[in-house]
Amino acid sequence: MSRNLILGGVLTGIFVVAALLSFIWTPDSVEAMNIANRLKPPSADNLLGTDHFGRDILSMLMVGARTSIAVALVAVGIGMGLGVPLGLAAAARRGGMLDEVIMRMNDLIFAFPSLVIAILITAVFGPSATNAIIAIGIFNIPVFARITRGAALSLWKREFIMAARVAGKTRSRISVEHILPNVANLLIVQGTIQFSLGILAEAGLSYVGLGAQPPIPSWGRMLADAQTMVSLAPLVALIPGLTIVAMVLGLNLLGDGLRDALDPRLKVVRA
Interface residues with other proteins (CB under 8 A) are: 104, 107-108, 111-113, 115-117, 119-121, 123-126, 196, 200, 203-204, 207-208, 220, 223, 226-227, 230-231, 234, 237-238, 240-241, 244-246, 248-249, 252-253, 271
For the chain, how big is the Rg over CA atoms in Å?
22
Return contacts of 189-193, CB within 8 angstroms, 24+ apart. Answer: 189/255, 189/258, 189/259, 189/262, 189/263, 190/143, 190/144, 190/147, 190/255, 191/76, 191/80, 192/251, 192/252, 192/254, 192/255, 192/258, 193/251, 193/252, 193/255
- Residue closer to other proteins, measured from CB, 174 or 257: 257
Tell the smallest beta-carbon distance from residue 57 to other proteins (Å): 15
Asked if 135 contacts 72 with a C-beta cutoff of 8 angstroms, the reply is no
Which residue, 104 or 157, has its beta carbon nearer to other proteins? 104
Task: Identify which of residues 56 and 256 has a Cβ nearer to other proteins in the complex.
Answer: 256
Nearer to other proteins, 27 or 241 (CB): 241
d(CA 89, CA 99): 7
Q: How far is the CB of 107 from other proteins (least distance, A)?
A: 7
Give the chain's length: 271
Q: Which residues contact 72 (CB under 8 A, 6 or more apart)?
A: 136, 195, 196, 198, 199, 201, 202
Task: Name the minimum Å distance from CB 4 to other proteins.
Answer: 9
- Of the candidates 192, 196, 194, the one whose C-alpha atom is nearest the C-alpha of residue 248 is 196
- Residue 178 or 259: the one with the smaller Cβ distance to other proteins is 259
Of 157 and 270, which CB lies nearer to other proteins in the complex structure?
Answer: 270
Q: How far apart are CA 39 and CA 41, in angstroms?
A: 7
* Coil vs helix vs strand at 131: helix
Minimum CB separation of residue 43 from other proteins in Å reads 22
**Closest residue by Cα to residue 115 from 192, 196, 203:** 203
The minimum distance between CB 9 and other proteins, in angstroms, equals 15
Shortest Å, Cβ 134 to other proteins: 11
The smaller minimum CB distance to other proteins, of residues 28 and 202, is found at 202
Cβ proximity of 175 and 92 under 8 Å: yes
Residue 244 Cβ, how far from other proteins at the closest point, in Å?
A: 5
